[in-house]
Amino acid sequence: MVNYSLPLRQQDTNRPSHLPRDFVKVSSEKSNNDGFLQLLLFINKRPGSQEQIQAIRKSLSKLKTDYPFEFNVIDVGEQPYMAEHFKLIATPALLKIHPEPRQTLTGTNLVAKLEYWWPRWQRSLKESRYEDNSQCESQQAISEKLSASSISCAAELMQMSDEIFRLKREKEQLQAQLKFKDRIIAMLAHDLRNPLTAVSLALETLESTQKTAKNELLKSSTSLVERLTKQARYQVRVIDRMITDILERPRGKNAKLHIQPEKLDVGALCYEVKMQFRDRMRSKNLQLRTDIPNDLPLVYADRERIRQVIVNLIDNAIKYTPKEGEIQIIVLDRTTQKVQVTVCDSGPGIPKENRDCIFEDSFRLKRDESQEGYGIGLALCRRIILSHYGKIWVDSSPNNGSCFHFTLPVYR
């Protein structure tokens, strides 16, 4: 005759803390040093669940058994991860998890199914026990591996692992969103400054000209008004495109920018951009030397994107070149079907260990941390040039200035 203990939560006040509150255990009084059947009953809070538990307990007390067994009740409402682990799709369900193979009984009449399968389970346990003995595996190790506490610990570890994975995913998503927001703010502050300044100056000059225009100067004033208005409208279009690009740009930092390549005279574009900085160069008394051949081949590139690159490089050259210094703009037709553009300054130069890092997002030299800027200009230049299948790099030495080079494919 097999005797059963009361549920742990009712009788054993010293039960291990790792066992869940709803983990009810019924076992024979035989030693678990031998192999034993292991049964799990999954139930929920529906009416009649307790009656099903009592009916199965009663049936187990009447069944003849030659080997010890273990019977545990799990509430899927409190331990859903256990149901997920065993891939259950309905409750109540009675699982025989040892010996292998695992077997699941479902339906309303679990007692009848249990009584039908019980003799077969006893035979399978006998066979399993014989195989285990033939392999000289200690029965104590079997007991430890298949104990209810080990199942409970495994379930809790699964739950903790899932929670850690979920939290890591949320952290990564939040970090990506924050980085994306920071890049948008930095790009707006950096790239919109130059065209906005140009628009402001153009409109101020236009307003001043209209107020002071006289009859004898009417024709020349009208021509100036048209030129300044055209420049202002162009710069507004540039700003509009920048905003559109920022809102639509891919979030991955290695994703290519959307470009619209066409035939482009990059030499003429360099001349056009340098005029934009004429007043700033005069304010620092800088010398500008250019070497731009007239017979350069056309390149295949997005005009406004390349303008962004040239503007960034000249803007940096002016910033870091001391008063009465020199800036150079050089364009070369290389033999590899590439046109190379170079912007040199006579500033402090870039330390050797930082020459690759300066093209990374938000990187700034220590000497520049107190100065205005966001450290994204060169990173943006790099993305633009790579999107054109070109290359960008820097040659520099301390106190001897820097030369930034980039290449563009020749239009074929």
Q: Which CATH architecture has domain 8-162?
A: 3-Layer(aba) Sandwich (3.40)
Identity of the amino acid at 46? R
User: Within 10 A of 374 (CB to CB), how many other CB atoms are there?
Assistant: 18
User: Within 10 A of 297 (CB to CB), how many other CB atoms are there?
Assistant: 16
C-alpha span between 121 and 70 (Å, rounded): 13
DSSP track, 227-251:
HHHHHHHHHHHHHHHHHHHHHHS-S
The encoded tokens of residue 341 equal: 């553009």
Residue 369: predicted pLDDT: 54
Tens digits of residue pLDDT in 38-70 = 888 888 878 888 888 888 888 888 887 767 788
| Angle at alpha carbon of residue 301, lines to 246 and 339, rounded to 5° | 130
Residue 203: predicted pLDDT: 73
C-alpha span between 406 and 59 (Å, rounded): 83
Tell me which CATH code domain 256-409 carries.
3.30.565.10
Write the CB contacts of 271 (distance below 8 Å, at least 6 apart in sequence).
290, 292
Report how far apart, in Å, the C-alpha atoms of 353 and of each of 156, 350, 396 are: 49, 8, 11
DSSP track, 110-142:
HHHHHHHHHHHHHHHHHHHHHHHHHTT--HHHH
Rg (CA), the chain: 39
DSSP track, 374-397:
-S-HHHHHHHHHHHTT--EEEEE-
Domain ranges of the chain: 8-162, 256-409
Do 231 and 198 contact (CB within 8 A), yes or no? Answer: yes
**Residue 248, Cβ density class (10 Å: 0-12 exposed, 13-18 middle, ≥19 buried):** exposed
Q: What share of the chain is helix, strand, coil (3-state, %, to 5)?
A: 50, 15, 35
Residue 148: predicted pLDDT: 52
Residue 244: predicted pLDDT: 59
The encoded tokens of residue 310 equal: 């040239």
Residue 266: predicted pLDDT: 96
- The model's pTM is 0.48
Tell me how far apart the terminal alpha carbons of the chain are, to the nearest angstrom. Answer: 95
List the pLDDT tens digit at each of the 412 positions of the chain: 333 333 333 333 333 333 333 344 444 444 333 467 888 888 887 888 888 888 888 888 888 776 778 888 888 888 887 877 788 877 888 888 877 788 888 887 888 888 888 888 888 777 766 665 555 445 555 555 555 555 666 667 777 877 888 888 888 888 888 877 777 666 666 666 667 777 777 777 776 766 665 555 555 556 767 777 777 777 776 676 666 555 555 445 555 577 889 999 999 999 999 988 888 899 899 999 999 999 999 999 999 899 989 988 998 899 889 999 999 999 999 878 899 999 999 988 888 887 878 888 766 666 665 555 444 678 888 989 999 999 999 998 888 899 999 999 998 8
